[in-house]
């Protein structure tokens, strides 16, 4: 492109990281898109130059598992928190209201989020056990919502836990459309049974909770989901994988050539059920934190490094302190019989923990981050190659990481509603230095340069297989 007209921006001097390699190259940006990669002398002049010397330049990082809404962070605070943490795109779980069709809910939420979100965004819809809601599935698919989540647990929540019949119906319809079915895999009947045995027996302390969600219930539900997938032909994505047994079943399906993909989250890689002793109800998440013997954690790290676990996501589900506190007395229900909520804030710790714990302490290649937090989420959820890649024609979304600073994670630096974090006092190496979203600087050394409403709704396409094999 030597001799061409000037471009808007050139990012130079950094190590450009893709899902497969690290390049000494500069990135030229024009009109919000990447228009060239190459050495400075081969690129046109730029109106603005960003010197990223000594830093890693990754594709804009994506969190493909966040919960936003009335009981969580809203479409203002959630993306604001994520932007400060180095993310550029969120795919959030959406819920429809009583009386709404899926197309109605899509329009409402897209309008709301477009006014409030500083990040680009898309939706996965959570489907309750209501066959009539499927009447709007095809239209919603055409509106760019191509992934749908089903819960195989939470029997106490009206219509939340879905029957195998309903799951099969959803998968059949999604297979015909070309979509993907996401599943929260735990055997809800067993969890319900165990909880209602524990409560009358007085086993209601926070440390009693993990025993009501034994690891095998995840493996059993995963096996059932895979069997229904094989019957219907629908791609399946298992959310927040937490166990070695579940991973082994997924690996078996992948070896058979089945389109079965999965994610894990930092909490399952780094925390254990011992957190219930310190944090009590604040560490109540679903699936639960697993035993402290390390076997599940080691398996999940190996599964992520080996390409069997395609993505890393936060499962950001912040809850205010007042809703969690009664769980110290009874981890299952408060004094009025209302369930103690699951969930913890995690979007603001996703990037620093991935880099610090995965790249620095575990020695995983920096390309691993680009794979599990950019390219693979974009592939699976129909955004690639517009998102998740540093290549000509892609959106100029970049996350630039300074590898040197050491920071201490503290809730005082967080922007979300929760007011607490399970990682309080955690030491982390590296931090997001700058992000670009569609060619414009979004985060600049800790300061947000864009305001609410900058984000755009992303119409997504059909899933593409993620990159597999060992990260290198």
Q: What is the mean pLDDT of residues 146-153?
A: 98
- SS3 for the chain is CCCCCCEEEEEECCEEECCCCEEECEEEEECCEEEEEECHHHCCCEEEEEECCCCEEEECEEEEEEECCCCCCCCCHHHHHHHHCCEEEEEEEECCCCCCCHHHHHHHHHHHHHHHCCCEEEEEEECCCCHHHHHHHHHHHHCCCCEEEEECCCCCCCCCECCHHHHHHHHHHHHHHCCEEEEECCCHHHHHHHHHHHCCCCCCCHHHHHHHCCHHHHHHHHHHHHHHHHHHCCCEEECCCCCHHHHHHHHHHHHCCCCEEEEECHHHHHCCCCHHHHHHHHHCCCCCCCCCCCHHHHHHHHHHHCCCCCEECCCECCCCHHHHHHHHCCCCECCCCCECCCCCCCCCCHHHHHHHHHHHHCCCCHHHHHHHHHHHHHHHCCCCCCCCCCCCCCECCEEEEEEEEEEECCHHHCCCCCCCCCCCCCEEEEEEEEEEECCEEEEECCEECCCCCCCCECCCCCCCCCCCCCCC
Using a pLDDT cut of 70, give the percent of the chain over it: 99
Query: pLDDT at residue 253 above 50?
Result: yes
pLDDT value at position 392? 98
Q: What is the mean pLDDT of residues 51-80?
A: 97
pLDDT value at position 1? 45
Q: Do domains 7-57+388-448 and 60-380 have the same CATH topology?
A: no
Rounded to the nearest integer, the mean pLDDT of the chain is: 97
pLDDT value at position 422? 98
Q: What is the mean pLDDT of residues 4-25?
A: 95
Query: pLDDT at residue 123 above 70?
Result: yes
CATH topology of domain 7-57+388-448: Urease, subunit C; domain 1 (2.30.40)
Dihedral over Cα of 285, 288, 294, 296: its sign: negative
Label residue 291 exposed, middle or buried (CB < 10 Å: 0-12, 13-18, 19+): middle
For residue range 193-236, what is the model confidence (pLDDT) as tens digits? Answer: 999 999 999 999 999 999 999 999 999 999 999 999 999 999 99
Query: pLDDT at residue 4 above 90?
Result: no
For residue range 38-47, what is the model confidence (pLDDT) as tens digits? Answer: 999 999 999 9
Query: pLDDT at residue 372 above 80?
Result: yes
What are the domain boundaries of the chain? 7-57+388-448, 60-380
State both tokens at 396. 């100029």
User: CB–CB of 272/290 below 8 Å?
Assistant: yes
- pTM (2 decimals)? 0.97
Under the banding of pLDDT at 50, 70 and 90, the label for residue 5 is confident
Query: pLDDT at residue 3 above 70?
Result: no
For residue range 376-385, what is the model confidence (pLDDT) as tens digits? Answer: 999 999 999 9
Under the banding of pLDDT at 50, 70 and 90, the label for residue 429 is very high
Q: What is the mean pLDDT of residues 14-29?
A: 98
Query: In CATH, what is the architecture of 60-380?
Result: Alpha-Beta Barrel (3.20)
pLDDT value at position 472? 81
């Amino acid at each position: 492109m030597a001799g061409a007209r000037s471009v808007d921006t050139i990012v130079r001097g950094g190590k450009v990281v893709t899902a497969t390699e690290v390049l000494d190259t500069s990135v030229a940006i024009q009109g919000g898109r990447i228009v060239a990669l190459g050495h400075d002398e081969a690129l046109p002049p730029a109106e603005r130059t960003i010197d990223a010397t000594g830093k890693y330049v990754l594709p804009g990082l994506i969190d493909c598992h966040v919960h936003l809404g009335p009981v969580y962070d809203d479409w203002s605070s959630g993306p604001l928190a994520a932007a400060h943490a180095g993310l550029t795109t969120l795919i959030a779980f959406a819920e429809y209201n009583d009386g709404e069709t899926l197309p109605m809910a899509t329009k409402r939420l897209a309008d709301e989020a477009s006014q409030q979100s500083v990040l680009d965004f898309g939706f996965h819809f959570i489907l309750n056990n209501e066959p009539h809601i499927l009447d709007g599935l095809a239209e919603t698919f055409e509106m760019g919502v191509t992934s749908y989540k089903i819960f195989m647990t939470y029997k106490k929540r009206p219509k939340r836990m879905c029957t195998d019949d309903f799951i099969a119906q959803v998968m059949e319809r999604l297979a015909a459309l070309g979509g993907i079915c996401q599943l929260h895999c735990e055997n809800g009947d067993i969890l319900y049974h165990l909880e209602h045995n524990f409560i009358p027996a007085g086993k209601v302390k926070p440390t009693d909770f993990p025993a009501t969600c034994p690891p095998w219930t995840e493996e059993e539900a995963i096996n059932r989901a895979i069997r229904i997938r094989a019957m219907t032909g629908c791609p399946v994505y298992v959310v927040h994988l937490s166990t070695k047994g579940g991973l082994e079943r997924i690996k078996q399906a992948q070896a058979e050539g089945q389109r079965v993909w999965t994610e894990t989250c930092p909490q399952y890689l780094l925390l254990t059920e011992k957190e219930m002793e310190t944090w009590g109800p604040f560490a109540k998440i679903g699936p639960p934190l697993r035993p402290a013997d390390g076997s599940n954690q080691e398996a999940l790290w190996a599964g992520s490094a080996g390409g069997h676990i395609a993505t890393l996501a936060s499962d950001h589900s912040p809850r205010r302190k007042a809703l969690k506190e009664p769980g110290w007395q009874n981890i299952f229900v408060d004094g009025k019989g209302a369930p103690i909520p699951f969930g913890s804030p995690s979007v603001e710790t996703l990037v620093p923990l991935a880099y610090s714990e995965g790249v620095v302490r575990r020695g995983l290649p920096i390309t691993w981050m680009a794979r599990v937090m950019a390219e693979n989420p974009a592939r699976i959820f129909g955004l690639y190659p517009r998102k998740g890649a540093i290549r000509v024609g892609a959106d100029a979304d970049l996350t630039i990481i300074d590898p040197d600073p050491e920071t201490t994670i503290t809730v005082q630096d967080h922007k979300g509603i929760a007011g607490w974090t399970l990682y309080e006092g955690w030491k982390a190496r590296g931090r997001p230095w700058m992000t670009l979203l569609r060619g414009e600087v979004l985060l600049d050394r800790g300061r947000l340069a864009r305001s609410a409403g900058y984000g755009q709704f992303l119409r997504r396409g059909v899933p593409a297989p993620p990159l597999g094999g060992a990260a290198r």
